Amino acid sequence: MRPRKANVCALQSSDTFNKAKIKNERQGVVILWKLQTDNMSICYGAKDVVTKINLTIPAEKITAIVGPNGSGKSTILRAISRMIPAREGNVFINGENLLTIPDVEFAKNLSILSQSPDYVSGLTTRELISYGRLPRKKGFGKLEHMDVQAVEWALDVTNMKSLADVAFEELSDGQRQKAWIAVTIAQDASILILDEPMTYLDLQQQLEVMKLMERLNKEFDKTIVMALHDLNQAARFADKIIAIKEGSILAEGSPADVLRAETLCRLYGIEATVDMDPKIGKLVCYTY
């Protein structure tokens, strides 16, 4: 197990989870931020879109959820982020039922970037990113020094500093997406959930974001869960891949376990070849 590292900007919250983590670290026990579901079913109206699914999101790893449109990827992420209720079953963080965790503590420890987040008009980019600090603010006062540090760090690592004082509405779609990613980072949660974070991003921006997620995982021990369409991004950066089809798990495991020609045929109805890229030492999928 890797040695524990400092949080982003050396921030330390005082919520129950982190108190427990500090206490247990002193006793030589480390709490890992693992997500699990137990027979979780989710419905829209009378129709189940996810059926009795048992997921394990490993702590301090990058997990990619892949699958065709309409397979239930976003629905699963919304349920484990407490944005929508499960019809049956449970979600657990470190063995604690999601529904029993107080809202503020939950927001300090899990952040989500959904596909269509809401925002207040008239904000600059910096002001929008500051909203990521709301779970950690004391009352309705100004941001404290550690909050400002976190916002500036998020601006810096997403290469958004030059746009910090630009109105959010004036940004391009890709720039807006990077701003939302910065909001998620500024929150400094232990678990980051991103639903198709590559939307609107060009190739350079996509690579920047994936490398940033890798850095957050390796340097700050963040548990990261992403719904991705690009199988090569999943192969390169994810420790675990979960393939979802029609609301159920078709395959899960390491990239080598999941990215097989027969699995991709069942998942997408396509023919594919999977080879090792000698330059980066990762699998690459060719579809045809």
Name the pLDDT band for 143 (thresholds 50, 70, 90): confident
Question: Does any domain span residue 217?
Answer: yes
> Is the model's pLDDT at 158 over the cut of 50?
yes
Task: Tell me the average pLDDT of the chain.
Answer: 88
Percentage of residues in the chain having pLDDT higher than 90: 76
Question: Does any domain span residue 195?
Answer: yes
For residue 25, the domain's CATH number is 3.40.50.300
The token pair that represents 74 in the structure block: 């976003």
Domain range for residue 42? Answer: 8-121+189-287
In 22-144, DSSP assigns E strands to 35-44, 47-53, 56-57, 62-66, 88-93, 96-97, 110-113
- The whole model's pTM is what? 0.87
Name the pLDDT band for 17 (thresholds 50, 70, 90): very low
Question: Does any domain span residue 130?
Answer: no
Question: Does any domain span residue 152?
Answer: no
Question: Does any domain span residue 45?
Answer: yes
Question: Does any domain span residue 283?
Answer: yes
Question: Does any domain span residue 21?
Answer: yes
The SS3 assignment for 274 reads strand
Question: Does any domain span residue 183?
Answer: no
> Is the model's pLDDT at 220 over the cut of 60?
yes
Number of domains in the chain: 1
